[in-house]
Structure 1
Amino acid sequence: MKNKKIPLRKCIACQEMKEKKSLIRIVRTPESEIKLDPTGKASGRGAYVCTEVECLEKLQKNKALERSFKMKISNQVYDELLLQLKADKA
């Protein structure tokens, strides 16, 4: 019996490799909208982040999301992502 391969992704904030299911995908849609992708199947450029609030704060401080998506991201987007992350955890 073969073991299934578990897909790994790197958190762009802390640079740790983790299981894909344990990370949150943030996507830049073709319309240049930034949003959380809970399904992991939305079309657009994706980046993965840990579910920890510290990683989201580090993401904003290091501007890693801006580098991944090659665009300026407002503080309002980070606030919305933080609210959605907290709502998903509850």
Structure 2
Amino acid sequence: MAKKKRQFKARKIPMRKDIVSGQMFPKKDLIRIVKTPSGELELDPTGRANGRGAYVSVDVTLAKKAKIEKSLDSTFEMTVADVFYDKLIDFVKHQQDRKELFSHEQIIKAENS
């Protein structure tokens, strides 16, 4: 009796919309910002915090554009302090540098093996 070959379905990649550019990106390439039930804004690197979330791309120019346009103010219908935007820009810059560093290390490992 011949065994049937199983065909694996391609995994669905969850997509989310960046509030600054309006483009859809994979969820892993975005940073989630959460308005908690108590009304405070927080960065959510895990993507699992309770509250209403919005996503910003890991791109410093888009994070700076969010500050200029006050994108979070209109999204969450509240005034957001410039300190939070600065915190967001620093976090985005850190994530972008980290992403570039680790992608570079993976290229080196692939070349050496």
Q: What TM-score do you get using the length of structure 2 for normalisation?
A: 0.73
The residue identity in structure 1 corresponding to 2:72 is: L
Residue number in structure 2 paired with 1:14: 21
Render the CA deviation track for 1:4-48: whole Å, top value 9, x for unaligned: 111111110111111011111011111222121011000011000
Identity of aligned residues (%): 44
**Cα distance, 1:77 vs structure 2:** 1.0
Structure 1 residue runs of 5 or longer lacking an equivalent are none
Q: Whose strand proportion is higher, 1 or 2?
A: 1
Residue number in structure 2 paired with 1:3: 10
Structure 2 residue runs of 5 or longer lacking an equivalent are 1-7, 99-113
The residue identity in structure 1 corresponding to 2:74 is: R
**Residue 81 of structure 2 is aligned to residue 74 of structure 1:** yes
**Residue 76 of structure 2 is aligned to residue 56 of structure 1:** no
Q: Could you say which structure has the greater relative contact order, defined with CA pairs below 8 angstroms and 6 or more residues apart?
A: 1
The aligned length equals 90
**Cα distance, 1:67 vs structure 2:** 1.2
Residue number in structure 2 paired with 1:42: 49
Q: What TM-score do you get using the length of structure 1 for normalisation?
A: 0.90
- 3-state SS of 2:83 partner: helix
Partners in 2 of 1:31 and 1:3 — Cα distance? 39
Partners in 2 of 1:81 and 1:35 — Cα distance? 9
| Higher alpha-carbon Rg | 2
Partners in 1 of 2:94 and 2:63 — Cα distance? 14
- After superposing the two structures, state which structure 1 stretch, 42-51 or 61-70, moved more: 61-70
Aligned residues: CA RMSD: 1.3
- The runs of at least 4 aligned residues of structure 1 exceeding 6 Å deviation read none
